[in-house]
Structure 1
Amino acid sequence: MNVVFSIFLETFGDPIGHRPVPASALEHYKDKLPIQLLDYWKEHGWCGYGGGLFWLVNPAEYESVVDSWIGGSTHDTYHLIARSAFGELYLWGENTGSILTIAAYHSRYFLSAPSANNEERDNKIQSLLMWAMTENIGLDLFDEARATLGDLASDEMYGFVPALMLGGSAKLEHLQRLNAEVHLILLSQMAELEPYELDDEDAQDE
C-alpha cells in the first residue's frame, strides 16, 4: 500500500459497501485506466469511504450517466471512476489521461491537463484521493445528512429536492436519499454543462 492511500484510509476510516472487483473487470480496464487505480481495485475493491462521502466505483455501472452528461461531445472516451455523496463525478479520459470533474448538482465541470506517461497517470489518481481528503466535497452537509437520512447504499446519493438548478436551496431539509444513476441522469437534463470560471475557488487544480 502506498503512502497516499495509507493517509486516505487513516482520514476516512473503514470502507462501506465493499464489493470485490472480478478479474474480468481488471482485464477489461487494463489499458484504459491507470495502473495505480487498478491496484487499488485489486486490493480494496469498489466501496465507499468516509461513511459514504467518497466512492470508488465500477465504471460499467455508470456508462449511462457518462453518456447522459457528455455523450458525443468530446474527443476522448471517459469512464466514471469515483463520485461523492452529493454527485461530484470524477471521469477518467482513456486517451488523454485527464480527469474530468463534473459537479452534477450545479452542472459545472473542470478538465485537468493531460498525462504524458503512466507515472503522471498514477500521480493523478493519488491527487484525486488528496482532493477528496482536503476539499469540501461534503458541502458542509454530509455529517448532518448521514445522521438524519442514514447511510448511503452503494447505488445511492444525497440529492437536493428541488434541484439547485431549479431554484432549490442547499439545506439539509431539502436533501433526500436517491438512486444515484437515476438522479444523476435527471440532473444532466436540467441545465447545460458549463465550465468553472478560471477564478472559481471550487475548480480542481491538478
Structure 2
Amino acid sequence: MADEDFEYFLTKLPLSIPGPQCTDEHVRTYTGLVPDCLISYWQEFGFSGFGNGTAWLVDPIEWKLTTEEILLDSVQHPRLGDDAQYIPFARSAFGKVWFWTPGYGVSLVVEPVRGTMFFRQPARDLSVSGLEGTMKAFFGASDSERFDFLDREEQPMFDRVYEHLGALQFDELYGFAPGLRIGGAAIVEATHLFQIHVHMALLRSVIGDHWYVAG
C-alpha cells in the first residue's frame, strides 16, 4: 500500500499510464541509495505516468546512460564532491527531471528544454528517517503545477498539449521544434512527440556548456 503522502499525490495526479515494472535488479541496486518509500512506489506502480502523464516515476537503470553521459556529464554541484551520485526519480511530460543524491536528498533539478539546472540545498534532516520524510514530502506536496510547463504567456501548457498530441508512452516526452534555445516558441502548435533519450541528447548538444545555473 502507498503511504499517506503518496495517496494524497494520487488524489491530485491519479495513475494514468502504466509503465514498465520494477524488477529485482532495481531493488537490489537501489536499496540503501534511495529511501525505502521510493522503492515501494516502484514496486506498486512501476515506472508509470500520473495525471494523464503530467508526472512520471523514472527508471534509474533505463536512464543511467542519459544521466551520466548526456545530461550530467559536466555537472559539478557546489555542495557535493566529484563522486556524488545523481539518481533520477521523477520527471515531467516536458522532460524536467528531479535527481536524488544518497545522504543528501533532492540534489538537482534539470530542465533541458530551457537549458536550466537548479542545485538544491541538502535536506534539513539527513538521518535515514529524515531523508525518507523528504521523499514522501516531495510527492505529498506535488501537484500538476510542479510538473507543468509555462508557455510564452506564462500559462500552463500540459492540458492543451495533451489534447493536441494525445497521451505519452513511458519513453516519450513533449518537446518543441524548433527548440526554445535556438529561437523556437513555447506554443502548442510547436509541440511534438519525441523519444525521450534521443531528444535529451539533442537538447544537450544544443546547450553545450551553456546551462543556465541557479542554486
Shorter-chain TM-score category? 0.7 to 0.9
Aligned-partner Cα distance in 2 for 1:129–1:108: 22
Amino acid in the other structure paired with 2:183: G
Root-mean-square deviation (CA), in Å? 1.8
Q: Could you tell me which residue of structure 2 aligns to residue 201 of structure 1?
A: none
Question: SS where residue 153 of structure 1 aligns?
Answer: coil
Question: SS where residue 61 of structure 1 aligns?
Answer: coil
Q: Does 1:146 align with 2:154?
A: no
Amino acid in the other structure paired with 1:4: D
Aligned-partner Cα distance in 2 for 1:143–1:38: 29
Q: Does 1:15 align with 2:16?
A: yes
After superposition, where does 1:72-111 map in structure 2 within 5 Å? 72-74=74-76, 75=82, 76-111=84-119
* Native 8 Å contact 2:92 2:147 kept in 1: yes
Structure 1 runs (4+) deviating above 4 angstroms are: none
Aligned-partner Cα distance in 2 for 1:41–1:92: 15
Q: Could you tell me which residue of structure 1 aligns to residue 178 of structure 2?
A: 162
Aligned-partner Cα distance in 2 for 1:172–1:163: 13
Aligned-partner Cα distance in 1 for 2:5–2:189: 35
Aligned-partner Cα distance in 2 for 1:169–1:9: 32
For each residue in 1:125-165, what CA deviation from the matched residue of structure 2 results, as whole angstroms up to 9, or x when unmatched? 22332453163422211111111111000000000111111
Identify which range, 176-185 or 41-50, moves more after superposition.
Answer: 41-50
Q: What TM-score results when the alignment is normalised by the length of structure 2?
A: 0.84
Aligned-partner Cα distance in 1 for 2:138–2:117: 15
Unmatched 5+ stretches in structure 2 = 77-81, 150-155
Deviation at 1:190? 1.4
Q: Could you tell me which residue of structure 1 aligns to residue 152 of structure 2?
A: none
Alignment length, in residue pairs?
Answer: 197
* Native 8 Å contact 1:35 1:118 kept in 2: no
Describe the shift of the 1:131–1:189 C-alpha distance in structure 2 as closer, same or farther (beyond 3 A): farther
Deviation at 1:182? 0.7
* Native 8 Å contact 2:174 2:193 kept in 1: yes
Unmatched 5+ stretches in structure 1 = 199-206
Amino acid in the other structure paired with 1:161: A
Q: What TM-score results when the alignment is normalised by the length of structure 1?
A: 0.88
* Native 8 Å contact 1:159 1:175 kept in 2: yes
Q: Report sequence identity in percent.
A: 26
After superposition, where does 1:1-206 map in structure 2 within 5 Å? 1-67=2-68, 68-74=70-76, 75=82, 76-115=84-123, 116-130=126-140, 132-133=142-143, 135-139=145-149, 140-191=156-207, 192-196=210-214
Amino acid in the other structure paired with 2:45: H
* Native 8 Å contact 2:47 2:170 kept in 1: no
Question: SS where residue 175 of structure 2 aligns?
Answer: strand
* Native 8 Å contact 1:100 1:112 kept in 2: yes
